[in-house]
C-alpha cells in the first residue's frame, strides 16, 4: 500500500492502463502540455507522447464524437471533461451514439469509452460549474455511471472502467482531489463496477452517501455515536448499475434509511433508492425513507449562500435524529 492523493491515484490508474494496453489513449482540453486542469494527467505526455495524450480545441461535441468513433474501431479512449458541466455540449454523442450503438448494431459494436472529469459542488464556481451531472446520465440505458469517493476507489474503479467494453461516465469530485488515502500499488488492482462499500458499520440507521456527502456523513456519525445513535454508511460508488442488494441488506438490518445527495432532490438518486426500498423492503422499515438533498436552486457564487445550497452536517444530523426517534 502507498499513501497518495485522489488525484495521484487517478494518474496512476491512467498510467498503468496505458502501459498495459496500447489501445488506451487520453484526449481532452489541456490534458497534454498543461497536464490537465486539475493535474490528473501530469507526466503522461512525456511518457506516452502526443499520439496518445491528445490536446484538443474547446469543442466537447467534436472530441467526444472522435472518441466514440475510435472506440467503434477498437481503441479505448479516455475523454476528459475539464468539468462535467461541459458534458452537456456532448450529450448527443454520449446519449445517442455511445449509449446506443451496441444495441442499434445488434452487438456488432462495443463502445469501450470512458468520459471522466470533475463534477458536483466545489468552491465558489457558481451556477454553471457546480452541477451534479450524474442525474443527466444514470437515466440512460447503455451507460454506466461511477462516482468514486476515496483514492483507492479512484484507482480501482477507473481501471475497471477503462477495461469495460461499455461506455462509462466517471465523475470525480473537485473537492476530493487533494485528500489522501492508502492505495494498492498492484497494477492488477481493480474494483468491480456495481459493487457498493460499507464505510461504517452500524445498527440503528442506514445512510447512503457518496463523494463529498460521504465525508459529511462520516463526521455526523462520530457526533451521533456520542448520543447513542449507530449509523451504518453505504457508499454506492457505482450509481449505474447500482448495488441495491447491499443497500437492501443494510436496511433489513437497521430498519431505517437516510439518503444524502448534493444535487437538487427532484428525480434524484435518493428518489430511486427510496423507491427500491419501498418496493423490496417495505415490511422491514420502522420509519419512512428520508432524503436529504441540495436545495432546488442554481448554485450561488456567494460563499454564505453556497453553504446553504448543499446539505450541511447540522441538517444531516437533524434528519437522522428524527428518523431514529
Query: Has 255 been annotated as catalytic?
Result: no
Confidence of residue 40 (pLDDT cuts 50, 70, 90): very high
Extents of the domains making up the chain: 2-183, 197-324
Hunting for cell 451504518 — which residue is that?
A: 232
Residue 122 has pLDDT above 90, yes or no: no
Beta strands in the chain (DSSP E): 2-5, 24-28, 53-55, 76-80, 114-118, 144-146, 168-172, 180-183, 197-200, 205-208, 231-235, 238-240, 257-264, 290-294
pLDDT at 101 over 90: yes
Cα 25–Cα 28–Cα 64 angle in degrees, nearest 5: 85
Structure confidence at residue 316 as a pLDDT band (50, 70, 90): very high
What are the angstrom distances between the C-alpha of 252 and each of 245, 249, 274, 283?
10, 5, 14, 9
Would the CA dihedral through 42, 48, 53, 55 be positive or negative?
positive
Whether residue 116 has pLDDT greater than 90: yes
Contact in structure between 212 and 176 (CB atoms under 8 Å): yes
Rounded to the nearest integer, the mean pLDDT of the chain is 96
Domain with residues 197-324, CATH architecture: 3-Layer(aba) Sandwich (3.40)
Q: pLDDT band for position 265 (50/70/90)?
A: confident
Task: Identify how many contiguous H helices and E strands the chain contains and give both numbers.
Answer: 12, 14
pTM: predicted TM-score of the whole model, two decimal places: 0.96
pLDDT at residue number 286: 97
Percent of the chain's residues with pLDDT above 70:
100
Cell of 214: 460521504
pLDDT digits (tens, 9 = 90+) for 148-176: 999 999 999 999 999 999 999 999 999 99
Identify the CATH number of the domain defined by range 2-183.
3.40.50.970
Block residue for cell numbers 458499520: 201
| 139 labelled catalytic | no
**What are the pLDDT digits (tens) for 43-95?**
999 999 999 999 999 999 999 999 999 999 999 999 999 999 999 999 999 99
- Catalytic residue, chosen from 8, 17, 35, 129, is 129
Whether the pLDDT of residue 317 is over 90: the answer is: yes
Identical fold for domains 2-183 and 197-324, yes or no, is yes
How, if at all, do strands 114-118 and 231-235 pair?
A: unpaired
Q: Of these residues, 29, 60, 80, 134, which one is catalytic? A: 60
pLDDT of residue 123: 86
pLDDT confidence tier of residue 16, bands split at 50, 70 and 90: very high
Q: Which three cell numbers stand for residue 126?
A: 457558481
pLDDT in tens, 203-258: 999 999 999 999 999 999 999 999 999 999 999 999 999 999 999 999 999 999 99
Predicted confidence (pLDDT) at residue 137 exceeds the cutoff of 90? yes
Q: Which residues contact 134 (CB under 8 A, 6 or more apart)?
A: 119, 145, 147, 169, 171, 239, 263, 269
Amino acid at each position: 500500500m502507498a499513501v497518495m492523493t485522489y488525484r495521484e491515484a487517478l494518474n496512476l490508474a491512467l498510467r498503468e492502463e496505458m502501459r498495459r494496453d496500447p489501445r488506451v489513449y487520453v484526449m481532452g482540453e489541456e490534458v497534454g502540455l498543461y497536464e490537465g486542469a486539475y493535474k490528473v494527467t501530469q507526466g503522461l505526455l512525456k511518457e506516452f507522447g502526443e499520439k496518445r495524450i491528445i490536446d484538443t480545441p474547446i469543442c466537447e461535441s467534436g472530441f467526444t464524437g472522435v472518441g466514440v468513433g475510435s472506440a467503434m474501431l477498437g481503441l479505448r479512449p479516455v475523454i476528459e471533461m475539464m468539468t462535467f458541466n461541459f458534458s452537456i455540449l456532448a450529450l448527443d454523442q454520449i446519449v445517442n451514439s455511445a449509449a446506443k450503438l451496441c444495441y442499434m448494431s445488434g452487438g456488432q459494436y462495443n463502445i469501450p469509452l470512458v468520459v471522466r472529469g470533475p463534477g458536483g459542488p466545489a468552491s465558489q464556481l457558481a451556477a454553471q460549474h457546480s452541477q451534479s451531472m450524474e442525474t443527466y446520465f444514470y437515466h440512460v440505458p447503455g451507460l454506466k455511471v461511477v462516482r468514486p469517493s476515496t483514492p483507492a476507489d479512484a484507482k480501482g474503479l477507473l481501471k475497471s472502467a477503462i477495461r469495460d467494453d461499455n461506455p462509462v461516465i466517471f465523475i470525480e469530485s473537485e473537492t476530493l482531489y487533494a485528500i489522501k488515502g492508502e492505495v494498492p500499488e498492484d497494477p492488477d488492482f481493480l474494483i468491480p463496477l456495481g459493487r457498493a462499500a460499507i464505510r461504517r458499520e452500524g445498527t440503528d440507521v442506514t445512510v447512503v452517501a457518496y463523494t463529498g456527502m460521504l465525508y459529511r456523513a462520516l463526521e455526523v456519525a462520530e457526533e451521533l455515536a456520542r448520543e447513542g445513535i449507530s449509523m451504518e454508511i453505504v457508499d454506492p460508488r457505482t450509481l449505474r448499475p447500482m448495488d441495491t442488494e447491499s443497500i437492501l441488506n443494510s436496511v433489513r438490518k437497521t430498519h431505517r434509511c437516510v439518503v444524502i445527495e448534493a444535487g437538487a432532490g427532484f428525480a434524484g438518486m435518493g428518489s430511486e433508492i427510496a423507491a427500491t426500498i419501498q418496493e423490496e423492503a417495505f415490511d422491514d422499515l420502522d420509519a419512512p425513507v428520508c432524503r436529504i438533498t441540495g436545495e432546488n436552486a442554481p448554485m450561488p457564487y456567494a460563499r454564505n449562500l453556497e453553504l446553504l445550497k448543499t446539505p450541511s452536517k447540522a441538517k444531516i444530523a437533524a434528519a437522522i435524529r428524527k428518523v431514529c426517534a
